[in-house]
Structure 1
Amino acid sequence: MQVIGLCRFSYPAEGGFQVEHDDTAARAAYLYAPERLDERFRHFETICLPGLAAQTDPDFTFVILVGEDLPAVARARLDALLSGLPQARVVARAPGPHRKVCQEVLNAARDDIRAPCLQFRHDDDDAVAVDFVETLRRTARDAAPIVDAHRLVGLDWGRGFVARPDACGLAAEEVVHPYWGVAQAVAVRGGVRQSIMNFGHQKLNRFMPTLTFCDRPMYVRGHNDHNDSRQAKHVAPVALPRLDAAGEALFAERFAIDADRVRAVFAGT
């Protein structure tokens, strides 16, 4: 079964953000601000990409949705970072309705719209475990009676870490938070054009049967000042403990995140 991941890299959509803007031009200006983009790239390089590049099952497609007006210097930096990930495809689109555009991009990435597929959403500052694709595909096979009986079935892994990278390495703690939108997938029946992006990640179980698993850490949820979910005034800062050597070794083994590389990339920030 085809596995497709979708990452929106600073795509100036209509809707889809908790931070409001007057129009897509104002949103693009916010998203493309040099300081913000630089932070997104640092997280993308050190947190997001390593685990994808190290997947034990490399048979997946990873689509990165960007705006057509993404600054040329940023697009070149993005292409350079993706050179080591053959599964990656960059798709540039003009601003449009968030859910509609994401649905179109996911359906265009399907090898055969008549065949079933597995879709996962992925933010540019998050990570999945190195066996995520393998586990996802195996779980869909194990749950075949349920998957075959429904148009859409949610598959969600709720145990992971929230982490903040910086020049000193990684501060992180383990959490159990189902339906958080990372390490979350939907099994889509062949011929169905709805996608994982047609549904809010925290409301997935309102619209389809879901299976949740919390047996082992499957994700890292990035924590930084530019998280869209952290821009509201009522959101309090989160104090995270510094990882020790054993914690850094776990992150390297489970997510291919190299704490030394994090320190080097974030040096001086």
Structure 2
Amino acid sequence: MQVIGLCRFSFPALGDFQIEHDTVKERRRHLYHPTRLEERFRLFESLTLPSFRAQTDEDFQLLIAVGECLPKAALDRLKDLTTDIKQVQIIQRAVDPDQKHRQVMKQILQIARSHPDRPCLQFRHDDDDSVSIDFVEKLREAADDGAGLIKKNQAIGIDFNNGYQASFRPAGTHAAQVYKSLLGVGLGMLVSGECTHTIISFTHNRIGRFMPIISYPDRPMWIRSLNNSNDSPRAGKQKAQLAPITPKIETEFVRRFAIDPGFLRLPQSSA
């Protein structure tokens, strides 16, 4: 079964974000600010990419969507960081002020389906988060679990609701294990053949209104980064609930998420 992941890297279309802008020009100015881009690249390189390099099931695609207006230096850097990951495909799209963000992402996913008449697994991923190295493997197992449900539904959600929230501060890494349902990270969808819905068709925390959800709380499956450029206005409050990383959690980050221990131990940039 085809497995497709979608990661939006500072894509400047309007809509579908909690922090909104009135024009594409304003959104570009916000997303492409050098300080913000540097933080996103640091987290993308240190959190996101290691686990995708180390997936126990290598049969997946990771589509990284960027605007054609992404500064050349940033695009070149993105290509350099991902050149060794065969599953990555960087997709550039022009930004149409009249076309909402969700429409563009749905088109990208629909085009990527090699056999639209067959079931497909999809997941969404933010460029500052991480999933466990067995994420794709567990997605496939969940699809087997949902074989009966998908016969009666166009799609079913797959929610790994056990993970970590973490902040990589100048004073060091802070983290906490949490149980949170229907986040943008650790959330997948099994789509039936001929169905045109995609993982991006629905607001992630409302997906349960439109389809059955299978939840898996048994093991930590993701790390959600809390940083200076989070879209959620609640990120600041959530940072306050974190504690300095313990040896146990550090071991988990290295073992299950393939994160370099040096990144966790060294003081982080204040960008």
Which residue is equivalent to 1:243? Answer: 245
Mean CA deviation greater in 52-61 or 95-104: 95-104
What do residues 242-266 of structure 1 show as CA deviations (whole Å, max 9, x unaligned)? 1133321111111111230355694
Answer yes or no: is the 8 Å Cα contact 1:161–1:219 preserved in 2: yes
Over the residues paired in the alignment, what is the CA RMSD in angstroms? 1.7
Per the TM alignment, residue 195 of structure 1 is displaced from its structure 2 partner at its CA by 0.5
1:222 counterpart = 2:225: yes
1:80 counterpart = 2:90: no
- CA distance in 2 between partners of 1:25 and 1:110 (Å): 32
**What are the ranges of 5 or more consecutive residues in structure 1 without an aligned counterpart?**
none
The residue type paired with residue 238 of structure 1 is K
Distance change (3 Å), C-alpha of 1:193 and 1:25: same
Which residue is equivalent to 1:15? Answer: 15
Distance change (3 Å), C-alpha of 1:263 and 1:166: farther
Per the TM alignment, residue 48 of structure 1 is displaced from its structure 2 partner at its CA by 0.9
Per the TM alignment, residue 87 of structure 1 is displaced from its structure 2 partner at its CA by 0.3
Answer yes or no: is the 8 Å Cα contact 1:119–1:185 preserved in 2: yes
Which residue is equivalent to 1:259? Answer: 261
Classify the secondary structure of the residue corresponding to 1:197.
Answer: coil
Structure-2-length-normalised TM-score: 0.93
What do residues 191-214 of structure 1 show as CA deviations (whole Å, max 9, x unaligned)? 111101010110011001111111
Classify the secondary structure of the residue corresponding to 1:229.
Answer: coil
Which residue is equivalent to 1:150? Answer: 153
- CA distance in 2 between partners of 1:165 and 1:85 (Å): 25
Alignment of 1:1-269 (within 5 A): 1-95=1-95, 96-167=99-170, 169-230=172-233, 236=237, 238-239=239-240, 240-262=242-264, 266=268
**What are the ranges of 5 or more consecutive residues in structure 2 without an aligned counterpart?**
none
How many pairs are equivalent? 267
Distance change (3 Å), C-alpha of 1:123 and 1:251: same
Classify the secondary structure of the residue corresponding to 2:106.
Answer: helix
Distance change (3 Å), C-alpha of 1:86 and 1:181: same
- Percent of aligned pairs with the same amino acid: 43
- CA distance in 2 between partners of 1:107 and 1:8 (Å): 15
Per the TM alignment, residue 142 of structure 1 is displaced from its structure 2 partner at its CA by 2.3
- CA distance in 2 between partners of 1:110 and 1:88 (Å): 15
Classify the secondary structure of the residue corresponding to 2:244.
Answer: coil
Per the TM alignment, residue 82 of structure 1 is displaced from its structure 2 partner at its CA by 0.5
What do residues 60-93 of structure 1 show as CA deviations (whole Å, max 9, x unaligned)? 0000000110000000110111112110001111
Classify the secondary structure of the residue corresponding to 1:102.
Answer: helix
What do residues 84-103 of structure 1 show as CA deviations (whole Å, max 9, x unaligned)? 21100011112231111111
- CA distance in 1 between partners of 2:219 and 2:121 (Å): 21
Per the TM alignment, residue 267 of structure 1 is displaced from its structure 2 partner at its CA by 5.2
Answer yes or no: is the 8 Å Cα contact 1:169–1:259 preserved in 2: no
Per the TM alignment, residue 157 of structure 1 is displaced from its structure 2 partner at its CA by 0.7
Classify the secondary structure of the residue corresponding to 2:237.
Answer: coil
Per the TM alignment, residue 114 of structure 1 is displaced from its structure 2 partner at its CA by 1.5
